[in-house]
Amino acid sequence: MWPKTKKEAFTRFFVSTLFSILFGPALVVAVRSWWPTLFDSAKDVAALYGSDPAVGFLFIAAPLMVAAGLPAWWVLGATVRWLDKRKDKDIGELARDVAAAVKDVRGGL
């Protein structure tokens, strides 16, 4: 879902960056605790190419940090689209729409 306006693009980029900063380190820690050999292998690859082994850590950590922000881009885009379809409704009508959507999802499970 591409942004429709420059303002939406800036907002989505900013929120995605914020999510990357907030949740990226937690994702890196989680992946490192689940799969520690991945980081060790990346350090070995960096050393093979004559780089500092710490650079190997970045081979894995940087993509994880970016991946932590991607859901924010999609969720914010979906929310903007959902609200745009209901732009003439007040807050009570929006709440009823949310309640109906939750009820439909629960009924489908």
Q: Pick 33 or 105 by higher pLDDT.
A: 33
What was the pLDDT predicted at 24?
A: 92
Q: What is the pLDDT of residues 3-61, one digit of tens each?
A: 788 888 888 889 899 999 999 999 999 999 999 899 889 999 999 989 898 898 888 99
- Confidence bin at 75 (pLDDT 50/70/90): confident
* Total count of domains within the chain: 1
- Confidence bin at 109 (pLDDT 50/70/90): low
Q: How far apart are CA 51 and CA 81, in angstroms?
A: 45
Report yes or no on 1 lying in a domain. Answer: no
**Mean pLDDT (whole number) for 91-99:** 88
Report yes or no on 42 lying in a domain. Answer: yes
Q: What pTM was estimated for this model as a whole?
A: 0.65
Report yes or no on 41 lying in a domain. Answer: yes
Domain range for residue 101? 6-108
CA nearest 58: which of 33, 18, 24, 16?
24
